[in-house]
Every structure is written in C-alpha cells, then in structure tokens.
Structure 1
Amino acid sequence: MSAMTSRKVYVVGVGMTRFEKPGKRDDFDYPEMAREAATKALLDANVTYDRVQAAYVGYCYGDSTAGQRALYPLGMTGIPIVNVNNNCSTGSAALLLARNAIAAGQAECAMALGFEKMAPGSLGSVWTDRENPLAPHVMAIASKTEMNPKVPIAPMIFCLGAMEYCAEHGVTDEAAQRRVLATIAHKNHLHSTLNPYSQFRDEYSVEQIEKSRKVMGPLNMLACCPTSDGSACAILASEAFVHAHGLEAQAIEIAGMAMRTDVVGDLGDVLGTAANGRANPDAAPESVSFQKIAGAHMSQLAAEAAMREAGVTARDICVVELHDCFAANELMMYDALGFTSPQFSAIDMVRSMTRTPGTNAIVAQTAAGTHVTVNPSGGLLSKGHPLGATGIAQCAELSWQLRGWCGPRQVTDNGRELTCALQHNVGLGGAAVVTVYKKPAAFAGNKVDPTARIGYNPAVEARSVSDEDVARVRARPAAKL
C-alpha cells in the first residue's frame, strides 16, 4: 500500500443533495441528483469539469455505465469513468479509488461521485435466479440461531451482533439492550435537527424510540436508517494541483485510508475448504460470531491500517462519521474503531453520553478519557442512506467540519479548532473502509468564505443548483493546437 500512497491527496471540493424519501419527487432521477452534487463540488473546488482527469462513480441500484450517463452532461472529455458497486460502502470505495489514482501519480485531480435511486422499504435482493452474495453469512447465522423469515436480513445481522456484544458485557435483559440502542438513536436524531441535508430532522426522545415499532429483539424502527434517494460528490487533488489553483485554505488531507474485507474465521467455518467455494452446511455454530458477520472485525482491521498510515490513534479523534445503518451497528463499531478497552466497553460509552450545554451536540467519553462526537450530521439513521452516496456524504460532512463551516452543529476539540477526523463505512458481504482526515498545518492561513465564492454556506444551507451554476463548471472546449 505504501507505493500507492507516495503522494499526498487532498479533498478540495464537496457537494451533496438533500437525502429524500424514495420517490418523493418525480424530477429526482439519478442524472439530476448527480448533476446537483457534482456541480456543487466543482463550485466548491473552483474548477471546471475539464480539470478532472478520472471519475469513480458509485451506485448499487442501476444499470451499467450509469456513471457515464450521470457525468456526460458536464462534458464528454474522454476521461476514464469507473462504475463502482460495493454494497453500503460503495461511496467510500469510489473515494478510495480516486485517492489511489492521485497517490499513484495517475491523475492530479479526480472525482468520486455517488448516487442512489431506491425503492421504499427494507432492502431486498434484485437477482433471484443466482447465488446471493450473502448466502455464506446467512448460512453461518442459521447454524447458530433460528432464522425469522419476517425480519429482513440486514437488521437481523446487525441486531444479532449487538445482542451478542451486550451479552458479552453483562447486559442480557432485552429492555436494557433496547435502552442502549435507543440512546444512540436519540443522539443521531438530535444531531440531524441541525443538518439541512437530512431526510429526517425531528428530535425523538429515548422513550419515543423505545416505543416505536419493534423490528427485532431490542431493535426498534426509529433505531433503523431509512432508504433514500440522493447523491454526493468529492473532488480530490494532488498537492501540486492544490498549490496551482490556490486551494490551500480549504484543502483537507486524506492522511490515512484503508479497505478491508472478511478474513478467515469471520464467517466461522461456513465456507470450509471446498474448492468450489460453496458454503458448508455442517458449519460449527461455536465458530460463528454475529459481530464479525456484521463487519466488526474487518472494520477493526481497516481502522488500524488507516490510523497507522495517518500516524494517529483513537485518542486523537474527536469527531467521527460512523456507519450507523442501525444503532446496533454503531454500538459494535465503537470497539472496532478503538474507542473502548476491556475495562470500558461501548455500553459504557453510550451511558457516558451527555449533551453539551446550550447545543444539540452529544459527546461520549472514550476509554482513554477523551471525548468524541459521533455522527454530527445525524448519521445514516436520520440523514438517510442512499447506498452509493453515503460514504461520500460522510466525506463532505467531515470536510466541512474541519474547515469550520458547520455553524450550530460545528464540533470542536475541547473548544479548539478541529485538526483530525475519522470516517467509517461498511458494507455487508463484505467491505469496510476507514478514512482519517487532517487539516494540514502547512496550509494554515485565511479561511475560505464560502459565501464569497458560492453565495451561501453549503454546510448549513441546502440549495439546489441553477442552470447558470452548471454552466460555470461544465467542461470548457479543448484549446486548438
């Protein structure tokens, strides 16, 4: 990986649409979503589309080359456009590919774009005439517990993982487990009230969440994320590009980034040693960990690698955008990201959560005695989860946070400006991506005033784009030789 990361890479522009209930608007197909997000990111970076030398476009529900269809209205410039599908971590996978292209010297400026046009309700399989990618995961679960056909597979996996985690830490009563998950959900719903991009912007008490419709065990509906329509975009650049375009005051370094997939043992022995890769129907239930099936171990491996590359530890992180498709997942990932210890569990973190006086920010104590704000955007639970856009929307939030643009939801480091942030994005099947962002000390200087360039602060106001905005960023005709 060191050869792939020999050059520094910076986020220089971000943009996103509001995340909305699927089908809410007739004029919100994926080309319109992408047009808005990409235009905003290019305006933020103060460059036109012809400066982009490669684009990586993430989506899960769409035909091949939808990325080309989404970007061609900004200019048919001949650049490579790679379409990416990696389940719920699709957006971060696209971001990783864009980062690697710049780090390896293949591009000076690259785009990561994600979008999703989804159906209402729980996720389901589109292809029913072939092997489901989650078949080994389902078989591993079935070897250890009875499957409930009325519960969709995603909430089942994450809920079982959280229940297992709670039981390992002495919390076996379902009501107590429900209180833990409801406390996490309350935090994220409260944070979302200040995010104009969130699908949900209502505050719910812990009690309201506990009384919402039961999904499974201690998991209730208001502790689950919604499906969503939406798009997000990030413009990445090399250090030379940053200097050439005067972007030092807004450039945020991707200081560490890693993707990991499942390793031997994460699914128990369900895959066995069969040469055909088929699942083993005689898997031993004692070898199965619901937490590992839910991605906790690969998230841990990705976090360790990303923080090692960035030269930080969990002690240095005080703001996180964490993949909380369910409150159950957020609980397990506190461990995976290194915020806990054998003496101070994720449950202890949840019970330590306090609201900062005079704000909507809820902070949690870590095992190291530091404090961290998780999902100031509202997370997936409230902001929404258009699969291809989620990881890049997390990047947008953390870039705005590190620039200090977030107004009433701005996180600080004990009253000081933020210098470091962490992003976690995971997809069942599996792929976990963890990213560490830093505000470069070498680029210290005057802050960029977004109102001077864009006319408003996009971190605190969600506007659409005009035809004039699109014209400003559309690729310029190539100069004649």
Structure 2
Amino acid sequence: MQSNLTSQQQSNGQRVFVIGNGMTKFYKPGKHDYDYPDLAKLAIERSLRDANIKYDEVQAAYVGYVYGDSTCGQRAVYTVGMTGIPIVNVNNNCSTGSSALYLAHNAVKSGMNDCVMALGFEKMFTGSLQTFFPDRISPLDKFFINDNEMRGDSNSPFAPRLFGNAGREHIEKYGTKPEHFAKIAWKNHKHSVNNPYSQFRDEYTLEQIIKSPKIHEPLTKLQCCPTSDGAACAILASEAYVKQHNLQDQAVEILGITMTTDYRSTFDDKSSIKLIGSEMAKKCAQSVYKQAGISPKDVQVVELHDCFSANELCTYEALGLCPEGKAGEYIDKNEFTYGGKYVVNPSGGLISKGHPLGATGLAQCAELCWQVRGMADKRQVKDAKIALQHNLGLGGACVIVAYKKYQPGYQKNLRKDQSADPAILEKLEAAQEERPKL
C-alpha cells in the first residue's frame, strides 16, 4: 500500500506508529512448560489482537533472540502463519529486542513497508550469563582486559563485575553511597508489585536489599536482574495505515529512535562508567531528543536498562534526567518514582520484572505504550504523554526511543478484547478455538 506523501514528508520519511503490543509473563527458566515458539505465539497473537488486525496484514518481521540456533525467528513466527514474508533474525546482546524494533521502525520510516512486526523472545539457562564458544575470541575481550587493568581480577561473574565496578567509580568520583544503589532496587521491586507480567512481585525493605548476599561490591543479589524466559511483540505501521484502519485512538508515535555503538572513549578513557556504555547512551539520547524535538524535562515516564542498580544510576545522568554526579541527591529526593520528577521503571524494570534478553526491549516498548495510552492500571503514571526507552547491550549497542500518544481518548474506545492485563487475555485465549501446533 502506497501512502500519498508530500515531497517534504518523503524526504523526512513516513511517521511511524506502534499500533499493537503483546507480551507474556516473564518466567524463571525451568519453572514453566513453554518452549520459545509457545512464548512467541502468545506475544504475537496478543499484539495482533491489540492492533485489531490479522497476521496476513504484516509485511515483514524482525525477530530478536540471543540464545538459539539460526532461523529460530522463522520457527517462532510460523506458529501464527506462513505467508512468505521476509523474517530477519536479530542478535545484539541485551539490546536485541530494541534492535529488532529499530529495524522494524526503519522499514516503515523508509516507506518500504506499511505494517511490520518486531518480536523478541528468550529461553535461557539458569544462573549467570555464559559463553558457548571457547575456541574463539570473545566479543567482550576488550571489556574484560580493560576492567582487569583498572580494577584487578575478580572471581565475580563478568556482568555484575563490570557494572559493579562502574558503581564503585561513581562512589569514588562523586561521593555516592552504596545505599543509593540499594534504593534503586527497593524502588523497582516496589513497582513490580503492580505488574502481573513481572517474574517477581515481592516487595522488600531497604535493609533486606542491603543485607542480601553480596555479588560484587556494591551490588547485592536483590540489585541484580535474574535470567528469565519470555516474549514480547510490537506491531508498527505508517500513518496512512493507521488512518485506513481507524487506529488513531490507540496509535503511539515513535518520535525518535537511535542506535549507537561504542566510541573510542569506551576503552581509551579508562573509566568503568564509560566501559558499561554511558558514552554511547549519552550520545544516543542526544540524537533522540533532537529527532523528537524534546528535552528530558518533557518526559514523564522512563523504562531504562537496570540490569544492575549501578547501571540505572549511571544512566540517569547519561540520559540527562539529572546533572552528572547528582544521581544520589535525586534518589534521596525520590525524583525517580511516583510523585517525583520522573517515574523510572514502573514495570519493575529488569531487576524485578526479569530480563529475557531478546524480549526485554520490546517489553519496555509495551509498558511505555500502555502508559501513554492510559492502560497501565495500578502502575499508571499520571498525565503520561511522552515516554523514553533505554535498552543497552555490552559489546556493544544502545537503543533509545521516544514515544508520544497520537491522540487522547483511547480508553473511551477500548474494545472488549483489549487489555493490558494477562489474566483477562488468558480468558480470551481460552475461549478461542485452539489451533494445532506446527
């Protein structure tokens, strides 16, 4: 379908909208009966129902996962149909889901497609992240070498070691206290109580978080994200498609989206904070703000990559949510939760919601779209109009997205088969005729 665009619109590309979101609950690996195609099917069907379209409307699919064989994307998408569309498999470490979103956005923005799917899923192993190819150079070798040169060797798992050392640098450089990192985890666990998709929904006291087992100074166990299984999906469309299908009331515009990779400063500046991606996050955010014509002060709600509490704290400053070195002060003033300047990770974030690598970025997308559409129930952020997403993968890639609701009044036009509550969706799914598995 071709859009009637002016020459100016064509030079800037088409406007891009998220018209449907769906995700599964995030599960502890080994504690459920789903395989990755089952998880993917649930997420896809929920996003299609939300958009009120059929799968054969989708013109291309970008599918992200980290742990799996080649063409798992095809196997996952085939659970809902086989229409011969291009299916591109995406792997960009922890930013995989948002990388699939980035590619889907570009396909619509360019005018190549009018309706595309971004899907992410993961079926992980229990315990810390691991590598599977010891006979070749690790893509993270320079990160390990730099970390050892700056901080010395450690028996800690590599991910909490890198992010924990960034937290230690922030303490040494700005006088931040270990309690500030614990307060971030306390906030995110508290937020997750109201998220039925979250892997964990337990609330903890600050003392419990501080006294949980030490993983790598200053991080304790309750400040680290768990491994998780799950899937999430988003349907993206052009403005012409949105209008043709009468989806204006639920469409969420992607005002800006950028992907950055590492700069020389990641390694050359000998900084643990820059080693975990603060510079590429800063440059990425600046690009998105420029694209969207906004500044941090225009944002109400943020989903950012809190794989560890130290990364959330450093990211506050990289995104411009507070001045450099002032994150601790803002945390003490409760500026990053309900009633503060921003609500960060209302979903519970990776720390409590979980982190199935391929699904995380698209779960962030779902949460933020539900927020600006007014569908987030007990975790709804008041007057949420502009939302910001930050998804980071070491190795490295950072994707940041700015969203804005297209038109107010979505709740007035909710169909009976629409909901952001998985319990309601499960009842709808049970009432449908079960399709045979592929």
Q: Which TM class, normalised by the smaller chain length?
A: over 0.9
> Alignment partner for residue 158 of structure 1, among 159, 163, 175?
163
1:284 maps to none
Is the contact between residue 109 and residue 238 of structure 2 (CA under 8 Å) also seen in structure 1?
A: yes
Q: Secondary structure at the match of 1:151?
A: coil
1:289 aligns with 2:271: yes
Counterpart AA for 1:9: V
1:352 aligns with 2:316: no
What's the offset of the Cα at 1:444? 3.9
Q: How does 1:19-30 map to 2 (within 5 A)?
A: 19-26=26-33, 28-30=34-36
1:192 maps to 192
Is the contact between residue 390 and residue 398 of structure 2 (CA under 8 Å) also seen in structure 1?
A: yes
Q: Secondary structure at the match of 2:416?
A: helix
Report the RMSD for the aligned CA atoms in angstroms. Answer: 2.0
Going from structure 1 to structure 2, the CA distance change for 1:4 and 1:199 (only over 3 Å counts) comes to farther
User: What TM-score, normalized by structure 1, do the two folds share?
Assistant: 0.85
2:380 maps to 410
1:322 aligns with 2:304: yes
What's the offset of the Cα at 1:106? 0.7
> Alignment partner for residue 399 of structure 1, among 353, 361, 369?
369
Is the contact between residue 58 and residue 389 of structure 1 (CA under 8 Å) also seen in structure 2?
A: yes
What's the offset of the Cα at 1:451? 5.2
Is the contact between residue 16 and residue 108 of structure 2 (CA under 8 Å) also seen in structure 1?
A: yes
Q: Secondary structure at the match of 1:202?
A: coil
Counterpart AA for 1:67: G
Q: Secondary structure at the match of 1:453?
A: coil
1:131 aligns with 2:137: yes
Q: How does 1:425-436 map to 2 (within 5 A)?
A: 425-436=391-402
Counterpart AA for 2:400: V
CA distance in 2, matches of 1:459, 1:420: 22
What's the offset of the Cα at 1:469? 4.7
Going from structure 1 to structure 2, the CA distance change for 1:448 and 1:5 (only over 3 Å counts) comes to farther
Going from structure 1 to structure 2, the CA distance change for 1:44 and 1:182 (only over 3 Å counts) comes to same
Aligned structure 1 segments of 4 or more residues deviating by more than 6 angstroms: none
CA distance in 2, matches of 1:190, 1:348: 20
Which moves more between the two structures, 84-93 or 443-452?
Answer: 443-452
1:96 aligns with 2:102: yes
What's the offset of the Cα at 1:347? 1.0
What's the offset of the Cα at 1:354? 6.7
User: What TM-score, normalized by structure 2, do the two folds share?
Assistant: 0.94
In structure 1, list runs of 5 or more residues that go unmatched: 269-286, 356-360, 365-370, 475-481
Alignment length (residue pairs): 427
1:375 maps to 345
What's the offset of the Cα at 1:466? 3.1
Counterpart AA for 2:227: T
Q: How does 1:59-458 map to 2 (within 5 A)?
A: 59-148=65-154, 150-171=155-176, 176-177=177-178, 179-268=179-268, 287-342=269-324, 345-353=326-334, 362-364=338-340, 371-412=341-382, 417-440=383-406, 443-445=407-409, 447=411, 449-450=413-414, 452-454=416-418, 457-458=419-420
Which moves more between the two structures, 458-467 or 299-308?
Answer: 458-467
Identity %: 50
CA distance in 2, matches of 1:468, 1:63: 34
Counterpart AA for 1:108: D
2:4 maps to none
Is the contact between residue 187 and residue 362 of structure 1 (CA under 8 Å) also seen in structure 2?
A: no
Counterpart AA for 2:332: R
Is the contact between residue 180 and residue 347 of structure 1 (CA under 8 Å) also seen in structure 2?
A: yes
2:3 maps to none
What's the offset of the Cα at 1:350? 1.1
1:6 aligns with 2:35: no
Is the contact between residue 8 and residue 238 of structure 1 (CA under 8 Å) also seen in structure 2?
A: yes
CA distance in 2, matches of 1:351, 1:462: 38
Is the contact between residue 12 and residue 44 of structure 1 (CA under 8 Å) also seen in structure 2?
A: yes
Q: Secondary structure at the match of 1:73?
A: coil
1:16 maps to 23
Q: Secondary structure at the match of 1:332?
A: helix
CA distance in 2, matches of 1:448, 1:425: 32
CA distance in 1, matches of 2:217, 2:225: 17
What's the offset of the Cα at 1:362? 3.7
